[in-house]
Chains A and B, each alone.
Chain A
Amino acid sequence: MNFSLTMSPSDLLLLLPEILLTSWLCLILIIDFSFPRLPNEQLAYLSIAGLVATLGCLAWFDITGITGTLFANMFVLDRMALFFKMFIVGSTILVILASIDYIHRFKFFRGEYYFLIVMSALGMMFMASANDLLSVFVTLEFSTFGFYVLVAYLREDMASNEAGIKFFILGVFAAGLLAYGISLVYGETGKLVFSDMKAAQATPGLAIGFLLIFGALGFKIGAVPFHSWIPDTYHGSPTPVTAFLSIAPKGAAFAILLRMFFVALATFKPIWVLLLVAASILSMTYGNIVAIAQKNMKRLLAYSGIAQIGNVLIGLAAGTKMGSDAILFYLLTYLFANLGAFAIIIAVSEAIGSEEIDDYSGLGRRSPFLAFSMLIFLLSLAGVPPLAGFIGKLYIFVAAMKEGLYALITVGLINIVISMYYYLIVVKKMYISEPHDPSPLKVSGPIKMVVYVCLAGTLAIGIYPQPFTDWVVSAILMFSNLAVPTASLPVPPAVTPFGG
């Protein structure tokens, strides 16, 4: 293995988005220190400007098709990485916009808040490009590092501190799992780059190693049985951080999961399909059933998030090109619906100071805009046409159906109905229950903007998904020659025109 670090300018070009964001990160920090009296909004808009520039750069790469690998395949910039980077940067922009009104709750270190968010985004951008077990470890820890601080940002709040401790201890534990898994895999195969492992022999050590790595990534995406940190952390964290935590790391972790399962472990598909089917069924069922009992909006979305991740795992279990398309597409729909719902939670909690579902009573009368948007986002999460979530779910189910995962699809379909119940409970509170206090709510500009963007995304993807499906399909063309054993289809016998 050649670890020489000779770089040409054209190699540097591949790192341009990351370099851009890193320098911007330093700029944010310097400006924050140099002008302590600068209003927070300025810093927020400054961060957004940097992120938009990065997004533009990524879009330019995507359109002109600039791709390549760096550092002896440790860093890969293909169209899938570009998709996930845009996903992460886009969600970061929305999260920062949604934070502007929330920031006054932090007594100290308001400037560093933006720094930490952008830093986590940077870590996740590297995660999307990680093509090697070492870079997986480094980038994963890099991105989680910012979150450890962000989760506990409400220093006076016990719940936030508890969330931070819980997240930290379990996160470090997951990091330990990851490191141990990597060492086992390296010991068994002598390889670190995913694409070099294709020829690996199935040994117990390799199996345990990958199981441990899957555990660490499962912690990141919050799949059962690695979900236990999710509810408390989501509940205790500052809401914008919860929103960020519920979207961006999942996208980045799925980038790694896709590379790991579809490239490194492609030959072992019959084995890992069982693992993923089990994780998916458990996540969907557990998340949806426990969500029914929730009284707090953030906890509800935490459990519904666990269930949504179960849905995404169906696509991974399908293990085909179409399955990976469906994952990307589903994450896109999830981004808009989930971020939109969290933006409304922020708006409502700014106005009435509560995140309890009961306090959403009569929201339809107090703020028709918020209630209607929330309705759209929740129904999209539930998977009701004509919203994005429905197409996402259908895409995933079709991909799994082609592989013949009937049990998984049946469980998934039943879970749609279960999830409809608790989403509709919120709808009932908003529209049917009478308000405790009928005064209208005020919604600030930035939050409105986030909600508009998310509404537009949810409706556009739901009504005409063709451009989006085209995008995701072209984003993972690299899997199109994926060597997957075809599922054992019973070949229909030649049928006489009318049976017999």
Chain B
Amino acid sequence: MGDYALLYILFAPFVGAIALIFVSNRQAMLVRGIAAGSAFVCLLASLYLFYAYDHVKGGFQFVQRFEWSRQLGISLHLGVDGIGTPLVLASGILLFAGIFVSWHIKDRTKEFYIWLLILAAATIGVFMSLDLFFLYFFYEMSVIPMYLLLGMWGSHTKKYNEMTDPEGLKQRDSVGFIFNFGSNSKEYAAMKLVLFLSAFAVAALMGILLIYKYSGLNTFDILVLREQARLMNIPVLGTTLDKIIWLLIFFGFASIAPLWPLHSWSPVGHAAAPAATSMLHAGVLMKLGHFSIIRVAFEILPETTRELMPIAAVLCMFSIVYGGFVAFYAKDTKYVIGYSSSSHMGYVFLGMAALDYISLTGAVMYMFAHAMATGMLFAMAGWVYDQTHTRDIPSLGGLSNRMPFISGCFVVGCMASIGVPGTVNFIAEVMIIVGSWNKYPFQVIVAVVGIVLTLAYLFKMMRGLFYGPMDQKYSHAHDAVAVVDRLPLLIMITVSIGFFFFPMHLYNVVRSGVDPLIAKITRVVPIADSGAGFGLMTEATGPAGTHDAQLLANNPVPPTSHTSREPQ
């Protein structure tokens, strides 16, 4: 293991997918076994990676570099820092859980697992790429499996089914049908997702190509570019080149995040996707956006990031509030969770926009925490759908009698999603709020309102699904009793609660990735963190904020910020 941990994590799912090609679809257990086995290797290796990451040393570790194309200056350069490590772990956990969540898929099981493994591997690839080319390569590679997973194993919305029912004939002739019909089908959702994400991905690619050209270094290597790329002050189209590149990169990647005006593919896609795909999609795929912005824009264009990041601070408010309100009024379980995800991603943008040590650490921890919480919720929504064949909240109810385990877990999932103390989400949320308070107090107030909204819509959904009177036609629905059905939920709950009680390693790892970045962007040395733990966090931020301002005012251009970033 050791140095090759990244290769195990990245290639285990690929190897599993290739092995599955040669297995017959009739041997269902073998298919599942291979998928679960390769996911297990991936999970073990990512656990090892997470705990073996040396947060005192920081920087990029487990680095692997293979020459890939001399002519284009591309190498397969892999490595993780404190920001990538927890996200790789989250992907590993969600992939493993997703394999079990989709244990009962009967139709073309083999193909399903192949695409799921490729999707997860591509996602993981983004988190460990240190080469712009491969970042884009894996990013785009993760989009296509989504199309097939949504299209082949996804589900239509209620409206679509009503319209195609024999009884829905009257509706079929209505104008509403013509305008609404397509947009309720899974094919529409899949196509929209792919085209939307690809369209913005090529914008990001344009940004990457511009970086490549104007750096003049003939390389896509992020580590080289962040030290040597000089993209400032080149006037283009009435502004400067770095701003154009930054906007292309930011909005290109923010579409998958999804930031408010670019979010419309996301709930539709979540709703159409099968449970395991929704989990991976909301859990880690959406984080590709934040991660890529951090990796590309923050690393290579720190100055521009400081100048333009307020854009995110403005848009994240709309994300939080809009997502929250739509989730409150949505009647489809997956729409609720989907909109809640896009609302919660607004917190991450807030944490990133504040450009503060605490808030960015909180944002990265929130990505990890949200992956667990939303993974649970989607897994359970998928279970309820499998049992009742509907996602329509008003027609459901009282299921807690039929499925006590699921309804119990659902409470935990809701708590985690809201950020109740006891789950790691709480820590992350508090860090985001506290860290951004100095810079964006108004946004913080909006975020707190967003938490109240989260509480409202999740409790409303919980009541609608599990409590109240039950329709007798759901009396055949049964609980998750088998080990394979309970295992994924228990894993995610354990992780979510476990990191609340033992957050220090997660915090330290993330912090070791955040420190050099923020130091480079804000040119402020972090406040001494004696390492005594969380108690210091809130104490440290207060002075840190004011201190930042003074430092900036008095000393706008410290000569060498890279070297002065070591915490004293």
Q: Which positions in A face B, CB cutoff 8 Å?
A: 322, 325, 364, 368, 379, 384-386, 390-391, 394-395, 397-398, 401-402, 404, 409-410, 413-414, 416-417, 420-421, 424, 427-428, 431-432, 464-466, 469-470, 473, 490, 492-493, 495-500
Which residues from A are CB-within-8-Å of B233?
492-493, 495, 499
* Contact A466 B234, CB 8 Å, known A384-B140, A401-B210: no
Q: How far does the alpha carbon of A465 sit from the alpha carbon of B70 in the complex, in Å?
A: 10
Instruction: For the complex, give the distance between the alpha carbons of A410 and B206 in Å.
Output: 7
A497 contacts which of B70, B202, B203, B560 (Cβ < 8 Å)?
Answer: B560
B189 to chain A, nearest CB (A): 11
Known: A394-B133, A424-B191, A498-B303. A466 touches B152 (CB 8 A): no
Chain A residues with CB under 8 Å of B181's CB are: none
Cα–Cα distance between A427 and B145 once the two chains are bound (Å): 12
Q: Across the interface, do B209 and A490 meet the contact criterion of CB distance under 8 Å?
A: no
- Please determine whether A409 and B209 come into contact, CB atoms closer than 8 angstroms: yes
Mask: chain B, 109-145; 1 = CB below 8 Å from A; 0 = not = 0010000000000000000000001001110110010
Q: How far is the CB of B518 from chain A (nearest CB, A)?
A: 15
Contact B230 A492 (CB under 8 A): yes
List the 9 closest pairs (A to B, CB-CB), nearest first: A413-B202, A432-B151, A385-B137, A495-B230, A417-B199, A401-B209, A385-B141, A401-B213, A469-B71
Q: Which residue of A404, A416, A490, A493 contacts B202 across the interface (Cβ within 8 Å)?
A: A416
Picked from A364, A466, A499, the residue with its CB within 8 Å of the CB of B232 is A499
Whether B151 pairs with A431 at a CB distance below 8 angstroms is yes
- B70 proximity list for chain A (CB < 8 A): 466, 469-470
Q: Do residues A398 and B234 form an inter-chain contact, with CB atoms below 8 A?
A: no
Which residues of A lie under 8 Å from residue B190 when comparing CB positions?
A: 428, 432
Give the Cβ gap from A394 to chain B, nearest Cβ, in Å: 7
Cβ-defined contact, A379 with B205, below 8 A: no
Does chain A have a CB within 8 A of B339? no
Q: Which B residue sits closest to A493, measured CB to CB?
A: B233
Bound Cα distance A497, B147 (Å): 44
Which of the residues B71, B108, B558, B559 comes within 8 Å of A322, measured between beta carbons?
A: B71
CA distance A6 to B206 in the complex (A): 55
How far in angstroms is the closest Cβ of chain B from A288?
A: 13
Contact at A414–B213, with CB atoms within 8 Å?
no
B568 at the interface (CB under 8 A from A): no
Helix, strand, loop or mixed for chain A's interface? helix
Tell me the bound Cα distance from A398 to B72 in angstroms.
Answer: 8
Return chain A residues, CB-CB under 8 Å to B482: none
Please indicate the chain B residues that have their CB under 8 angstroms from the CB of A498 in the complex. 303, 523, 557-558, 561
Q: How far is the CB of A40 from chain B (nearest CB, A)?
A: 34
Q: Given A397-B209, A398-B209, A409-B209, are A466 and B202 also a contact pair (CB < 8 Å)?
A: no
**Cβ-closest chain A residue relative to B236:** A490
Rounded to whole angstroms, the CA-CA distance of A423 and B137 in the bound complex is: 19
Chain A to chain B contacts (Cβ below 8 Å), 15 pairs: A379-B144, A384-B140, A385-B141, A394-B133, A395-B72, A402-B213, A417-B199, A424-B147, A428-B151, A428-B190, A431-B151, A466-B67, A492-B230, A495-B233, A496-B557
- Which of A368, A385, A398 has its CB near the most chain B CB atoms (within 10 A)? A385
Residue interface bits B405-417, CB-to-A below 8 A is 1, else 0: 0000000000000
**Contact A427 B148, beta carbon cutoff 8 Å:** yes
With both chains docked as a complex, state the minimum distance between the C-beta of A118 and any C-beta of chain B, in angstroms: 34
Q: Which residue of the partner chain, among B147, B205, B235, contacts A427 with CB atoms under 8 Å?
A: B147
Contact B210 A417 (CB under 8 A): no
A416, B199: Cα distance in complex, Å:
8
B445 within 8 A of A: no
Partner of A420, one of B71, B195, B232, B561: B195
Once the chains bind, are A421 and B209 in contact (CB under 8 Å)? Answer: no
CA distance A409 to B231 in the complex (A): 20
Is B68 interfacial (CB 8 A cutoff)? yes
Q: Once the chains bind, are A420 and B303 in contact (CB under 8 Å)?
A: no
B202, A417: Cβ atoms under 8 Å?
yes
Are B71's CB and A325's CB within 8 A?
yes
B 435-473 binary contact with A (CB < 8 Å = 1; else 0): 000000000000000000000000000000000000000
